[in-house]
Structure 1
Amino acid sequence: MSEQTQPVKSNSRFFSLRLKIWIGFTLIFIPIFIGSYAWFYNYTRDRVFRTITDDLSQTLHGALAGMDREGFVQLYEQESANNPMCPPEKPTADTPPEQNGYYPENNPLYLEHVNWLQSVQFTQLKEDPFGDPTKETTRLYTYIKGPDEGEVIAIGSTGYFRETRGGFRFCQRYTPALNEDGTPSTRIYDGLGQRVDSWIPYQDRFGTWITSYAPILDEQGQPIGAIGVDIQASYVDEVAAEILQQGMIAFAVTFAIIFVLVYWLAGFLTRPIIGLAGVAKKIGEGDYQQELSKSGGNYQDEIDTLTDVFKVMVDKVAQREQNLRARVHQLEIMIDKSKLTKQVTEIVESEFFQDLQSKVKDMRNRFTKED
């Protein structure tokens, strides 16, 4: 058709518009997802903590509501009257555990009391998201005021039912360990007179716990002892970790789906522009016979407007090129005629042609005389 125009080569690297849009969306969504996950992590942890502490409070109220208070008082009165180990001598660091408290298994009041604590404890056995029972995470125990200030005497404990018995023994004298700052811990002792919630995890020789204490009141509203409910602090982290693990999977899947959708959407949005770029490249090489299709259907957008304008421009450029080529062809013909005239003039005016013309004239005159 027409001579091909050589395209201008660019020294810059090509970076597709689709990839730019995809990377742009990615850079926008990554901070959003990180912020959302951080919020979800904090919200989940707070929610789990509130749920666990609410369960702890409900357990505490349930244990107090169903407790045999009269039997609680009679239990200590009977044992302290009949057993010289109740209460024992004030223990020291070297006192063997068996000399500081015991298990009165022959006393039905004791068995009834610890069985009640265990039944309350069973209400706190949780199931993980897959339906398998979790390990024991709570412990319940009761106690009364001890002989010394800040000291308590244990009455019952769910540790009695462990495979390896632990926790408080009956009539065990217990003085809380010092806090990390060296001050005496008064949480358990203060529970004899008021509700005490220790939501900040603390550590003792049995583990790390969050705890709630409440006094046991008789019919007249006078404190006769107290009950403590502990939940392992690690349980909060374990439950939060399980939920967050599921949340992380959901976030990762959602993130991947959005990435794919954004990549597809970028391709869908840039397809008309890429088509125009391809057509423009062909036109730049001199091929004006290109089809420009619209993508909007019944609904036009800016890309369709650009396509219409581009098509008009291409038609005008093609027409101008045809006109220009026609003018150039005419100029070439005129130039060829001018060159021919100039060449003829040069030949006629040359000395050779003048001499030849003179000889022809002489010969013509000679032939005329002879005739």
Structure 2
Amino acid sequence: MASSTKAPVTITDDGHDDRHINLSLRWKLTFSFVGLFTVIFAFIGWFILDLTANTTQDRLSSELTLHVEGATKTVNGDDFSTLNASVPAVPDAKDETGFGYPTSPLYKSVAADLFTVYNVVKAGTYTWFKDPKDGKLYTSASSGYYRDPQTGYHFKVPLADVTDDTTYSLMTQGLTKTTQQPAYTDAYGSWISTYTPILDKSGKSVGGIGQDYSLDYVAQVQADVRSKVLPALIISYIVLVGLVLLISTNIVRRLKRLTVATSRIADGEYDLNVKSLMRSRLRDEMYTLAESFALMASKVAAREQSLKQEVTRLKVEIDHARRTEAVKEITESEGFADIAAKAAEMRRRMREEPTQS
């Protein structure tokens, strides 16, 4: 577990509390790298999913454009123009739009062509036209007529009633050129759509054809990526965290050895082989630091020995000075002078006695 303890509170000279929390270097390194790896792996995961979604959606848009442009070749432009001009709308109170499907063979023929396209690309295919009388857009034949149950646009429904302004504008452009609608969401789900004009034999635009592709496929691709990529990222993340913990533990273990060694040196064990504690085939900063401590220890030992010798010399000098001073004090005292005089007198008498004899 992390070595995290509160140190005693001390008061600094400026009156502030000097509070510290001790946290092991091992855990500082681990937490730092874990935080860094978390950010990096989160970004990688987001980037992969986002790239997958964008790439898949772009590919679908390209395929949808090819399908729609190919679908125009299955629709006879002249028959389509005749259908819209000659077949009236069919009221249907049961439908929310108020319109139904006509029984016209021409409608069924065009719808059958669209249903053939649907069976190939599995994308809802529908048509619309612009009424020359009021200039508004109306729905025409749809592949949904042959689906079970029937779905899609009914015949001659005002597009403004069943689409929003953005879609209406894009479908208007689709009468003159291939137009893509970016991803959008409606009551039926999320889609991408492409619109392109239907031309008659003379090359005149007589309507538009469109296809919708559900983005559920994109979501499925993202789910597949998550199920395959995320486990690999998580495993890599765990392995890297384990390696960081292992490396930080090794670094701290060597640092602790060096700390113990410096304590022994501080206690006077200057001959300690500090470098032997940093066992490593490759020299690194820790080994260099150990060499520095070893050099420092040898210099401190030499300095201490020099100081001891100096102290010994000073002691000898001090003792000699003290003895000299003591002798001087004795010789200069009155008692010593009397004794010296008496001794001199005694030596004089001893020299005179043999002479008198």
Q: Distance in 2 between matches of 1:199 and 1:179?
A: 15
Corresponding position of 1:121: 121
Match of 2:125 among 128, 140, 159: 140
Residues 15 and 327 of structure 1, relative CA distance in 2, 3 Å threshold: farther
Paired residues of 1:157 and 1:167 also in contact (CA < 8 A): yes
The yes-or-no answer on 1:61 pairing with 2:94 is no
The yes-or-no answer on 1:198 pairing with 2:165 is no
Q: Which structure has the higher relative contact order (CA within 8 Å, separation 6+)?
A: 1
Q: How does 1:73-222 map to 2 (within 5 A)?
A: 73-74=78-79, 77=82, 86-88=87-89, 91=91, 100-102=100-102, 109-110=109-110, 112-122=112-122, 138-146=123-131, 148-158=134-144, 160-161=146-147, 163-169=148-154, 171-177=155-161, 185-201=168-184, 203=186, 206-222=188-204
* Pairwise CA RMSD: 4.4
User: Aligned with 2:30: secondary structure?
Assistant: helix
- Say which structure is richer in helix: 2
In structure 1, what residue type is equivalent to 2:126?
Y
Paired residues of 1:144 and 1:155 also in contact (CA < 8 A): no
Residues 242 and 226 of structure 1, relative CA distance in 2, 3 Å threshold: same
Paired residues of 2:160 and 2:168 also in contact (CA < 8 A): yes
1:305-347 CA deviation, whole Å, 9 max, x = no partner?
A: 222232344455567778989999999xxx9xxxxxxxxxxxx
Corresponding position of 1:225: 207
* TM-score, length-scaled by structure 1: 0.61
User: Aligned with 1:140: secondary structure?
Assistant: strand
Residues 291 and 118 of structure 1, relative CA distance in 2, 3 Å threshold: same
In the TM superposition, residue 231 of structure 1 has moved relative to its aligned partner by 2.0
Corresponding position of 2:287: 304
1:277-318 CA deviation, whole Å, 9 max, x = no partner?
A: 232234445666755324443x43332222223234445556
Q: Distance in 1 between matches of 2:83 and 2:295?
A: 109
In the TM superposition, residue 272 of structure 1 has moved relative to its aligned partner by 3.0
Residues 37 and 75 of structure 1, relative CA distance in 2, 3 Å threshold: closer
Residues 186 and 17 of structure 1, relative CA distance in 2, 3 Å threshold: closer
Residues 275 and 172 of structure 1, relative CA distance in 2, 3 Å threshold: same
Corresponding position of 2:337: none
Corresponding position of 2:238: 256
In the TM superposition, residue 68 of structure 1 has moved relative to its aligned partner by 4.7
Q: Which runs of 5+ in 1 are unaligned?
A: 1-9, 123-137, 336-371
In the TM superposition, residue 227 of structure 1 has moved relative to its aligned partner by 0.9
Aligned length: 297
In the TM superposition, residue 27 of structure 1 has moved relative to its aligned partner by 3.7
Q: Distance in 2 between matches of 1:233 and 1:300?
A: 58
In the TM superposition, residue 184 of structure 1 has moved relative to its aligned partner by 9.3
* TM-score, length-scaled by structure 2: 0.63
Corresponding position of 1:134: none
Q: Distance in 2 between matches of 1:42 and 1:107?
A: 43
User: Aligned with 1:51: secondary structure?
Assistant: helix
Residues 287 and 160 of structure 1, relative CA distance in 2, 3 Å threshold: farther
